[in-house]
Structure 1
């Protein structure tokens, strides 16, 4: 980094970092065994929550320059927040990480390729759902037209980096553009109405994983929910918030708050752990804005994961059945650590006839997906995934269930890397539950 960049970053660390939160860290080390990057880096203190907080504080105090080593340590963090539940002081590490990354990325000069990619992703694509539909429909055309088969058979895929080649293999079948555009905005309950809810459809979830969104609304109907799907909602902003683009994340948060305010619902339902955790944090994201703080807090209070409302409405007492099989569950980090939802998915799975549930060792340790981490930090991501697959194989499970699209793709990638496609599958929990409901 140039001297002027370091000076600007150091100044903003002093101005913007939550110093009281930095001081809350007692350096006790309880976070160390829960941190995947600390473990996989050979227990390098610089890649632990405690170490990263110490570096942030040292930058604020002027004892450490915010150089490339500091940036590298923060970039290598998954942001899984597994350190938060085990912290005796309750340090909000995720908030500190987002603050630090935002300061660095807003002040460090980026290369032209990096600047171009970030502009396309953060400004031109994710904030605009119509563009997301257009882009993903092109991927769908590639899959259906024979181009995918041609690219694979001719070796044309080899022009892509190895990590992108691997991800291309595990993408689900993309729906047609017409299906993505023609979305029902009001869905009645199948039986007696118990709750009126709004559904947060998301960006990737309502395009790449459209079938999973459809499964979600069907489950809610069976559970007795009237469903509203606001058409002005958009991307939750998590990718921006985690990648040093907090102001853009705030703009997207305000759009979503406005979209849902007039719904007059009991809950806002999510089916993606990463999105849900960021939506729950809107209250914190906008707490310094007098006009939005109260509205954001009210919005966040209504967020509920699909597994939580299904348990609340006793969906698990319906006749659910699948073929006899061993099932294990991979926690979504942000569902567990951000939304504090842990037991509900397990209760649902254990209620299904035919399921022999086997808990995976370290089920709540990050799988290495973490948004786009498996693309930008492929080496560390694959190290973490290899460990996860070791634990998965020990369960002898036929089905790995998870609750987040990134985790789902990562576990599919792990199955593919291990050559287990004929023996094992990864499924989103709502798709598995609908399968169990519709078997009879």
Structure 2
């Protein structure tokens, strides 16, 4: 509960820091309402819509509304999926308003001691340090490989945890060994003629828990003719900080990444995680008030691209055989990849290029799955409501494979598959892993076909 003094500080900061022009850009037309998952799932509660939240922010700025628990609750319940932005006729940058408001509230209220400790540990002592991320992930790997995981499940220990967390434990990927996580390349040559020189943003979770997806991504880029530089001094993108009211730490991480990448003469900076990409591509906005960094951030953001866009540009799907055994596949958009990076056609073009797969568009594929960083943990009830709707659409597509391009979305879809009892019938995969599997299978099939043709010609 915020005190009167805290509310006064928050209100003062709202007046100083919130972009009033942006708040006034909202025409209250309501075009955003159908696109907002929390508005729909809350029973069309205006306070849980983009229009309603902007009205609350404006009310606080004008001194008409106190920044109390109801205001904070409305902002906390927002997924930050930014599906409201593409449909807004006024072009309101809702995501920027939301992040600023959350940061103001977080920096001017007193958290309980346990919350303060957890936030400090996660935001300041874990994610900014890749070696610590490796160590924590290594402990998870030990849990999985040592027999502790089997023991925990057999003895019913997992039943002591909330249902969502217990189910999430079942769908976590097999963690690589510590040696694999430490021995990461800094340069990878292109296969054949060099078409692009790219820098790869490896990320924190992506280069630990989802290491195999990173490996698949760089192999695909190599096959497309890209030589790849992977700066060792890069850091966490800062998205988790920016979305959770830790803007100062997000800025510090942004500066580390800009420094790490700006000396590399690369055509593009590549990411394979929609959530990371959306935050990285807005470094210029994040550092807009720092003249010595803004131009450098702008140059960084201008080079950022999702790996699917680069694979299309390199014509991987035309130059490399992509094939898999017959199956139906659908695609779940990463909200930030679609709504912020504006990438939606490239993943679909690549899926349609895989021989053997039948692509089926899922209804409302662009609607959030409910993952949203750590939202599925801190707002489990709403997250599961949103996931239930998503799984209805996934089942209606009758696809055996659900592809996506963000680690959070991937885990959420795997969680949905487990909750629906579809394990073994439907699988969720990162698009990079699926494409790499298709490339390996396609090359093997082509070689087998050539060998058979050569043998037949020799006999004749």
1:168 positional shift: 0.7
Q: Secondary structure at the match of 1:83?
A: coil
Q: Secondary structure at the match of 1:283?
A: helix
Q: Secondary structure at the match of 2:429?
A: strand
1:268 positional shift: 0.3
- The 5 Å alignment of 1:40-439 reads 40-317=41-318, 318-439=320-441
1:160 positional shift: 2.2
Task: Tell me the distance in 1 between the aligned counterparts of 2:221 and 2:346.
Answer: 15
- The 5 Å alignment of 1:5-44 reads 5-44=6-45
Task: Tell me the distance in 1 between the aligned counterparts of 2:38 and 2:317.
Answer: 36
1:316 positional shift: 1.3
CA-based RMSD: 0.5
Q: Secondary structure at the match of 1:423?
A: coil
What does the per-residue CA deviation read over 1:179-227, in whole Å, with 9 as the maximum and x for residues that have no partner?
1000010000011100000000000000000000000000000000000
Task: Tell me the distance in 2 between the aligned counterparts of 1:266 and 1:114.
Answer: 42
Task: Tell me the distance in 1 between the aligned counterparts of 2:322 and 2:177.
Answer: 31
What does the per-residue CA deviation read over 1:323-368, in whole Å, with 9 as the maximum and x for residues that have no partner?
1010000000000001000100000000110011100000000000
1:15 positional shift: 0.2
1:158 positional shift: 2.3
Task: Tell me the distance in 2 between the aligned counterparts of 1:354 and 1:388.
Answer: 25
Deviates more, 1:156-165 or 1:261-270: 156-165
In structure 1, stretches of 5+ residues that fail to align are: none
Task: Tell me the distance in 1 between the aligned counterparts of 2:355 and 2:55.
Answer: 50
Deviates more, 1:423-432 or 1:309-318: 309-318
1:161 positional shift: 2.3
1:156 positional shift: 1.4
Task: Tell me the distance in 1 between the aligned counterparts of 2:154 and 2:296.
Answer: 53
Task: Tell me the distance in 2 between the aligned counterparts of 1:44 and 1:426.
Answer: 32
Q: Secondary structure at the match of 1:123?
A: helix
Q: Secondary structure at the match of 1:86?
A: coil
Task: Tell me the distance in 2 between the aligned counterparts of 1:187 and 1:181.
Answer: 16
Task: Tell me the distance in 1 between the aligned counterparts of 2:359 and 2:177.
Answer: 36
Q: What is the match of residue 456 of structure 2? A: none
Q: Secondary structure at the match of 2:291?
A: coil
Task: Tell me the distance in 2 between the aligned counterparts of 1:155 and 1:147.
Answer: 12
Task: Tell me the distance in 2 between the aligned counterparts of 1:323 and 1:78.
Answer: 37
Task: Tell me the distance in 2 between the aligned counterparts of 1:156 and 1:51.
Answer: 42
Task: Tell me the distance in 1 between the aligned counterparts of 2:124 and 2:164.
Answer: 24
1:422 positional shift: 1.6
Normalised by the length of structure 1, the TM-score is 1.00
Deviates more, 1:309-318 or 1:84-93: 309-318
Q: Which has the larger radius of gyration?
A: 2
Deviates more, 1:316-325 or 1:71-80: 316-325
Normalised by the length of structure 2, the TM-score is 0.95
1:159 positional shift: 2.7
